[in-house]
Amino acid sequence: MILQFGLYAPVPHVTVGSQQILNSVENGQKSLSAGAVDQAYTLAKDVLLEAERQNFDIILFAERHLGADMEAWILGSAISSLTSRIRSMIAVHPGLWSPQLIAKMASSLDRLTPGRMAINLVTGWNIEEHTMYGGDTMLHNDDRYIRAEEFIEIVRGMWQHSPYSFKGEFYEIEGAELLLRPATKEPPEIFTASRSERGLDMIANIADWWFVDYDKESETTEDVMISLQKAMDSVKTRAEKVGRKVRFAYNPFVCFGKSVEDAKARAERLVATNGNDTDVRKLLNRIGPAMKAGCVAPPQQVRKQVEIFREMGIELLLFKFVPNIKETQSIGREIIAPMRKQWDDVQSL
């Protein structure tokens, strides 16, 4: 099994340690000077094109409407037009979009790339955002997972059949036409994440990939690994019961140093560009568990941890790191290139 490598597109709500992002947020409600583009786009373009050069496999464009983030599908399409190999995974909340529209948007982008787009299905949690932008989170019951299953069934149905009709609990469609099929016979893959019991059933029922959830209170890397394996076994069993297979992805934070202690200190310095910023502090709290995955360490130790992830059945590592050219190049040089060479050498035997 060859492990894939990915990264997040640097946008405000998932990015720490970037002065360009902070500047972009600060200036988001101001007009740009003549000929200028948003600093967040410049950062995204520079980092993500470098990621393609470093042989990353996929970019996740996270969606956040309430805030200074550029709209995910717009940003993802703009970046995708500049790349030639790396895939674009773009997030979508069923509570904010219609499945018919997403079916056409995804098919359109897949034909433009070609064949390099994927969907990150997000069931939603931000009530304020959904209310402000005309959606519904359905946060307090299992309906949002039923809706998400219907959403993906419709998207896939429209990719395969035109006209297409559907009647469910949340959607009713009669004779919808989509005259643009995806670029390849294998349609865009569906990635998602959830931790609730009904959410895990949703993953088993419709997802191609699951971003594995784990115990965020884990104190050590060993605890993290035990929690990951338990979660993977659970979803594998659920998927087998419905005759499906789900592939596993994971999101560790990566930072190198001469020792584990040095790497941790360096990570804290890089992340805390503006430690007084409320959003940055929230992100620090969210990123903290990902720093316990064994990838904040000297490069050779991180490579060993990457191999452990691969051996346990994880097929994609979507790295969290401070997004700049130097860090992107370091991951390519210290992780992607040597690991790929190691796996190629084994396959050639």
Looking at residue 246, the DSSP 8-state letter turns out to be: -
* CA 122 – CA 138 distance, rounded (Å): 12
pLDDT of residue 282: 62
Among residues 330, 323, 337, 332, the alpha carbon closest in space to that of 46 is found at 323
Residues 6+ apart with CB under 8 A from 263: 255, 256, 257, 296, 297, 298
Could you state, in order of their start, the residue ranges of all structural domains in the chain? 4-26+39-348
Q: Are 121 and 188 in contact (CB under 8 A)?
A: no
Pairing label, strands 209-211, 255-256: unpaired
The CATH number that domain 4-26+39-348 falls under is: 3.20.20.30
Could you tell me the pTM of the whole model?
Answer: 0.93
pLDDT of residue 71: 94
Residues 6+ apart with CB under 8 A from 283: 13, 14, 15, 16, 271
pLDDT of residue 284: 62
pLDDT of residue 138: 65
pLDDT of residue 25: 83
pLDDT of residue 137: 63
Q: Are 250 and 319 in contact (CB under 8 A)?
A: no
Q: Are 4 and 85 in contact (CB under 8 A)?
A: no
Residue ranges of the chain whose pLDDT lies below 50: none
* CA 229 – CA 111 distance, rounded (Å): 37
* CA 54 – CA 50 distance, rounded (Å): 6
Q: Is the peptide bond before 187 cis (omega within 30 degrees of 0)?
A: no
